Amino acid sequence: MIINIYTLIMLFVACVSLFLGGFLLYATIQSLVTFKTAIPAKAINTFEQKGYLLFLIACVVIVIRMLAWPWFYFMLQSFVPEIPGAMCMFGVTQILPSTVIFLQIIKPVAFFVMGGWLLCYAVDKSTPTTPLARRNLYFLLIVCSILLIDSAADISYVLRMKPLMSVSCCATFFDTPLRPSAMIPQAILGSNYQDILFILYYAVNIVLIALLFTSLSKKWQSLPASSKKYILYGQAALGIVNIPIVIFAFFEIIAPGLMQLPFHHCIYCFMGNGTVPDAPIMLGMFVIGTFAIGWMGILRPLCKNKEVQPVTERMLVKVNHLAVFCLLASLIMVTVHFLFI
Amino acid sequence: MARKFWIGILITLTIALAGVSYQKLLRNPRCAYDGSPIAPIYEVDIILKDTSVRKFCSVYCATQWFEKNTLSVDHVLVTDEIRGNKIDSNMAYFVESELITNETNDNRIHVFQLRQDALTHAEKFHGKTVDDPFFIDE
């Protein structure tokens, strides 16, 4: 184990969330088993207190786990000087590679699911009768399972991490002509893939932002239901299509261009070595913007209830604003860098 | 909401401009091939025909870049490991030995201004003299 402030905090957070997550899972199952829509007047107070405690613990653990995602990258960056041969986070990922890949997949998934649950809970909480409580408890079961897996994986990684082997430089992986980030777009878009990818990056992002603005406009309410449906499906589809386009664009064009290293395609160097100091904000904005589109997709079906409908609508507008803002901010930041660098 | 939105965009714009300014004005030079910090004693400067300069952290990185951009290169300055002087690569002695200058890219090529220094290094670290890797065929 490498001991520094980052690993100690990570270990502490993972242990606390594992313990609280375990308790939360048990309490959620118990609440679901004993769940009643009608409660005797005498028991209302106890029931409310139990529910309040359960959801309070859930909120605390979930917020902590969501913060653990960026913290994980801070921790990887702190390992760079400890590992022989490591120049950036890529070198660190060469030790316990399968665990790191797993963590890099589960963390965004956990962030997305937990964010979705927090929004559903916020909608339910704003109504005195909490009509979505049961649905939120079922959702919380999924959240707890992911939370426990994520926390256990964190503990396992931090404890097993030993800088005993020498690793290779990121250039040996990211800068070879047969790198996956070049081969895949080349196979789809042809040999001139870089120009097409760059145009696609701007085109898809601009159309997506325009669609998101449409659902915020004053004319939205007057649109027929079928048009609204098409626009919402369009937002979701473009949001999904935008993910690989942005990822490949960052690897192939944006990262080398902004780092002023035209042959270096390492996203870890771009993110962590300080060459582009605002790179993590750029990437973070894109992630939150994309997730916000997904969160709208979670809110619409899960918070479908006459009682909470006005609250859901208000929440959807807020999340829509968040998606537009984050995607636009990310696009502006990339553009400013390309214009002035 | 609209006001907050545009204030947020303005803040983002400011952050991006600050980032660009930092990159242009404050950042220490980094290797133009792999982005790593440059140790002055191993610095290699490639001077292009348009008089712009590309700085590299090691002979390895400079060679990798040079191979792809030979046509645009005017001349190459390397650093003598003993004195830290910058000399034209045509004048330098290159030794490939067991001593690594940069663990990241496993660079084993060392640069010397004097022949005697090169021979001493080669003897001490089981090396041999090699040709100038930046030879430009006129």
- The pLDDT tens digits of the residues spanning A215-253 come to 888 888 888 888 888 999 999 999 999 999 999 999 999
Confidence of residue A164 (pLDDT cuts 50, 70, 90): confident
A96 Rama sector, left if φ>0, alpha if ψ -120 to 50, beta otherwise? left
Note whether A114 and A180 are same-domain residues: no
> DSSP string spanning B57-86?
SSHHHHHHHHHHHGGGEEEEEEE-TTT--E
Q: Which of A218-222, A293-297, B62-66 has the lowest mean pLDDT?
A: A218-222
Note whether A221 and A200 are same-domain residues: yes
At A305, give phi and psi (nearest 5°): -160, 135
Q: How far is CA A191 from the centre of its chain?
A: 32
Q: What is the mean pLDDT of residues A261-289?
A: 89
Share of chain B above pLDDT 90, in %: 47
Note whether A70 and A176 are same-domain residues: no
Note whether A115 and A178 are same-domain residues: no
To test the contact with chain A by mutation, choose from B20, B53, B68, B69 the residue with the greatest count of A C-beta atoms within 10 A, namely B20
Note whether A208 and A154 are same-domain residues: no
Note whether A32 and A52 are same-domain residues: yes
Whether A16 contacts chain B with CB within 8 A: no
Q: What is the mean pLDDT of residues B94-114?
A: 87
| Res A44: pLDDT | 66
Q: What is the mean pLDDT of residues A279-287?
A: 95
Task: Give domain status of residue A15, yes or no.
Answer: yes
Note whether A123 and A184 are same-domain residues: no
| Res A305: pLDDT | 82
Within 8 A of A263 by CB-CB distance, chain B residues are: 33, 64-65, 68
Residue B97: CB atoms within 10 A of its CB come to: 20
Last residue of a domain, one of A160, A186, A201: A160
Distance (Å, rounded) from C-alpha A208 to C-alpha A326?
12
37-76 of B, contacting A, C-beta below 8 A: 64-65, 68
Q: What global pTM score does this model have?
A: 0.80
At A34, is the secondary structure helix, strand, or coil?
A: coil
Query: How far apart are the CA of A46 and the nearest CA of chain B, in angstroms?
Result: 39
Whether A87 contacts chain B with CB within 8 A: yes
Last residue of a domain, one of A132, A160, A188: A160
Distance (Å, rounded) from C-alpha A153 to C-alpha A148?
8
| Res A43: pLDDT | 65
For residue A119, give its domain range. Answer: 5-160
Task: Give domain status of residue A165, yes or no.
Answer: no
Query: How far apart are the CA of A84 and the nearest CA of chain B, in angstroms?
Result: 7
Confidence of residue A2 (pLDDT cuts 50, 70, 90): confident
C-alpha distances (whole Å) from A195 to each of A143, A186, A200, A254, B89 are 41, 11, 9, 12, 37
Note whether A135 and A195 are same-domain residues: no
- pLDDT winner (highest mean) among A156-165, A287-296, B19-28: A287-296
User: For A13-61, how does the pLDDT look when each residue is reduced to its tens digit (9 = 90+)?
Assistant: 999 999 999 999 999 998 888 877 666 666 667 767 777 888 899 999 9
Q: How many domains does chain A have?
A: 2
User: For B14-59, how does the pLDDT look when each residue is reduced to its tens digit (9 = 90+)?
Assistant: 999 999 988 877 766 788 888 887 877 889 999 999 989 999 999 9
Whether the per-residue pLDDT at B82 is higher than 80: the answer is no
Please provide the average confidence, as pLDDT, over all residues in chain A. 90
Q: Which of A38-47, A100-109, A124-133, A166-175 has the lowest mean pLDDT?
A: A38-47
The count of CB pairs under 8 A between chains A and B is: 85
Nearest to B23 among A276, A285, A317 (CB): A276
Last residue of a domain, one of A134, A160, A186: A160
Locate the domains of chain B by residue range.
Answer: 1-28, 31-130
Task: Give domain status of residue A166, yes or no.
Answer: no
Q: How far is CA A14 from the centre of its chain?
A: 18
Sign of CA dihedral B57, B63, B67, B71: positive
Distance (Å, rounded) from C-alpha B45 to C-alpha B85?
12
Within 8 A of A321 by CB-CB distance, chain B residues are: 1, 5
CB within 8 Å: B33 and A278: no
Query: How far apart are the CA of B33 and the nearest CA of chain A, in angstroms?
Result: 6
User: For A83-105, how does the pLDDT look when each residue is reduced to its tens digit (9 = 90+)?
Assistant: 887 878 998 999 999 999 999 99
Query: How far apart are the CA of A19 and the nearest CA of chain B, in angstroms?
Result: 38
| Res A204: pLDDT | 96
Instruction: Kindly report the length of chain B.
Output: 138
Closest residue in B to A263 (Cα) is B33
Note whether A137 and A182 are same-domain residues: no
Note whether A200 and A150 are same-domain residues: no
Residue A187: CB atoms within 10 A of its CB come to: 9
Task: Give domain status of residue A66, yes or no.
Answer: yes
Closest CA to A6 of A61, A77, A82: A77
Task: Give domain status of residue A250, yes or no.
Answer: yes
- Report ipTM for this prediction: 0.85
Note whether A134 and A265 are same-domain residues: no
Query: B34 versus B134: which is more confidently predicted?
Result: B134
Whether A254 contacts chain B with CB within 8 A: no
Whether the per-residue pLDDT at A337 is higher than 90: the answer is yes
Q: What is the mean pLDDT of residues B97-104?
A: 83
Nearest to B17 among A84, A285, A336 (CB): A336
Distance (Å, rounded) from C-alpha B105 to C-alpha A173?
12
Query: How far apart are the CA of B47 and the nearest CA of chain A, in angstroms?
Result: 16
